[in-house]
Structure 1
Amino acid sequence: MTSGNNGASTPEDDDPFGYLYADGQANGAQPPSGGYGYPNSVNRVRSVGQRQYGQQQAPTAPTAAYGQVPQQPQGAYGQPSAHYAAPETFPGSAPTSQQPMPGYSGGGGRSGGPNTKGLLIGAIAVVAAVVIGISVAMLGGDDDKKDTGNEAGASPSVSQSSEPSASSSDSGKSSDEYKKTIDAKALRLGGGAALASDVEGAQSDGGIYVGNLNSVGSSVTWTVNGVPSDGVYTLFAHYSAASDDQAMTLTVNGKVFGSKLNLKNYAKAADGDFAKGWTTTYNWPTLTKGTNTISLSCENGDQCNVLLDQVWLKQGQVTK
């Protein structure tokens, strides 16, 4: 296909300003007279809103001669000219008024919309159910707090420097697994210690007790057999003290125990009133399995003005 001149007045060559150029004039371009471009050119100029698709076009208004301003039809003051009216104002144009949305009434309310009152009631019911559930859970939480029984015991630790209180107290735990008792008349006496029975209140057989212990070197010794195992035992002593508190040296298997045997005047007996001074004390020596020797003696610095009538042992660290 070769290039050539297809002639004037074809749509693709329609140049509204062709008359201004030499080649346009050579091709016969004329100033506009009802249209622009070459002679017999297609007139595509339309007023705003004039073109109607699918309908017969209305005839165009006559145009003014070249160089003159075309006369516009005048409308009433404050009203737009019919020539520049919007397309929707022409007959046959599509309506432009807004159509109401489905379910929307012009009065500002909704017609056929969701039931907002029902939704609000449902939301309140859900919140109330949650609050009730939380309250029930909090009230039921106290039932889960049960005593686990993991409370620490209050039993004293084993120590050679411990000073037990008088056994007149009912505190503590007794043990009947092992118990041995010896009366005063079965003890081995040493120094100036001697048996007597003239003071009432002794609980040993025949009311016999050991007196005259208030001198250095006086002692009583108990050789106990059949100790079941190594460990801590409780040594009890039934005695009488009057006026001042007393204390004597405790020796276990030839070794002085860490603390003296406390012989306080727990009964608050008056000076010399030994019949009212009977009470009980204890200490926690460590014994070995088998045979053990336990001695109570009056040494330098001790206070030994007591009467002793009975001694016994219990396994474990107890108070009665």
Structure 2
Amino acid sequence: MTPGNNGASTPEDDDPFGYLYADGQANGAQPPSGGYGYPNSVSRVRTVGERPYGQQAYGQPNVPPQQQGTYGRPNAHYAAPETFPGGAQTTQSPMPGHGSGGGGRGRGPNTKGLLIGAIAVVAAVVIGIGVAMLGGDDDKNAGDQPAPTPTAEQSAESTPSGESSADSEADLPAIDAKALQLGGGATTASDIEGAKADGGVYVTGFNAVGASATWTVNGIPESGKYTLFVGYGVPGKDANATLTINGTAQTRPLNMANFAKAPEGAYEKGWTETWGNVQLNKGTNTIKLSCETGNSCDANIDQLRLIAGWK
């Protein structure tokens, strides 16, 4: 230590806690008279209730606060650190969740996106309900409406073919056996039951070559295609005959098969019907059934009739 220095002259005097030890006390170390631990330290002890830094102490009279400095001039009692030379520069930190930076706790929830999503869901539900209601109304209206009345064309198309044939038959001639012009030994009879002609009369004796039954038909409305139906009965076996239209014999024989599936010899159970396509002229035409060479003509004939068109 140099002369004039007020520091401790012995090492123990340098120890602020030397007074706590026996050797320190022997060397004259004394407890500090100022603040705790160090000599000459300034005590900051305040009376209980005392107001620090201009605050009002509990139980003390209300003392008016000191006037602040005029606007624009620094306060004598307080100055921000940045006002001193070399003081730290202050920065304004953004609130968490704001700004475009990545600091703090990040951005808050995207409430705008959530709102748009909620609106879209509500709109979809509303549209679905509207479509369902419109569809229900359409079904209800369709059920309340009466069924449309079919047109004449639709009625004609839906008519069964049998009814159409009946209408055609009603407009065209038909003939029974007793009205036919017979030749070649053919004659009429009525002893076999089941014939559909008037009185049960039918043509018999048709099974000889040259036998014939001719129909002179009048009232054909127009030239064209027609179908000739021939009612006949066979004794449980097939037969055929030659069909001649207006003097021209057809190349194919008229099929008079046992379509009724009658047992052999049972004429009464063999009544059935066959048909052939013919071409007729408007007005009067001659239709002839005959037993020619090569035909098997063991059959009885009861009726003939025409319908328009080919079957």
Relative to total residues, which structure has the larger helix share, 1 or 2? 2
How far residue 297 of structure 1 moved from its aligned partner, in angstroms, is: 1.5
Report the Cα offset of residue 280 of structure 1: 2.1
What's the secondary structure of 1:266's corresponding residue?
coil
Letter in 2 for 1:201: G
SS at match of 1:174: helix
Establish whether residue 173 from structure 1 lines up as the match of residue 165 from structure 2: yes
2:276 equivalent among 280, 283, 286: 283
Aligned 1:203-214 pairs, distance under 5 A: 203-214=196-207
Question: Which amino acid is 1:243 matched to?
Answer: G
Partners of 1:222 and 1:294 within 8 A in 2 = yes
Secondary structure of the structure 1 residue equivalent to 2:166: coil
Does the 8 Å contact 1:245/1:264 carry over to 2?
yes
Question: Which residue number corresponds to residue 106 of structure 2?
Answer: 108
Work out which of the two has the higher radius of gyration on C-alpha atoms and give 1 or 2: 2
* Aligned residue pairs, count: 210
Deviation digits for residues 147-188 of structure 1, max 9, x if unmatched? 9x99xx89xxxxxxxxxxxxxx96973224512122222212
TM alignment of 1:176-255, pairs within 5 A: 176=168, 177-255=170-248
Take 1:305 and 1:136, find their aligned partners in 2: how far apart are those partners?
76
Alpha-carbon distance, 1:273 to partner: 1.2
For 2:229 and 2:90, how far apart are their aligned partners in 1? 120
Alignment counterpart, residue 291 of structure 2, candidates 264, 279, 298: 298
Residue 315 to residue 126, structure 1, CA distance change in 2 (3 Å): same
Query: What is the CA-CA distance between 1:225 and the residue it aligns to?
Result: 1.2
Q: Give 1:257's aligned residue.
A: 250
Change (3 A) 1:303 1:172: farther
The code of the aligned residue for 2:105 comes to: G
Cα distance, 1:181–1:173 mapped onto 2, change above 3 Å:
closer
2:165–2:307 contact (8 Å) kept in structure 1: no
| Structure 2 gap segments, 5+ residues each | 1-84, 143-147
**AA at the equivalent of 2:166:** S
TM-score under structure 2 length normalisation: 0.53
CA-to-aligned-CA distance 1:55-97 (integer Å, 9 cap, x gap): xxxxxxxxxxxxxxxxxxxxxxxxxxxxxxxxxx977989597
Listed as ranges, the gaps of 5+ residues in structure 1 are 1-88, 155-168
**Which AA in structure 1 matches 2:267?**
F
**What is the root-mean-square deviation of aligned Cα atoms in Å?**
4.3
Q: Aligned letter for 1:211?
A: T
The question of whether the paired residues in 2 share the 8 Å contact of 1:239 and 1:308 is answered with: yes
Partner residue, 2:36: none
SS in 2 for 1:284: strand
Matched with 1:120 is 117
Structure 1: distance between partners of 2:227 and 2:286: 14
Q: Percent identity?
A: 39
Does the 8 A contact of 2:236 with 2:267 survive in 1?
Answer: no
1:64 corresponding residue in structure 2: none
C-alpha distance 283-90 of structure 1, shift in aligned 2 (>3 A): farther
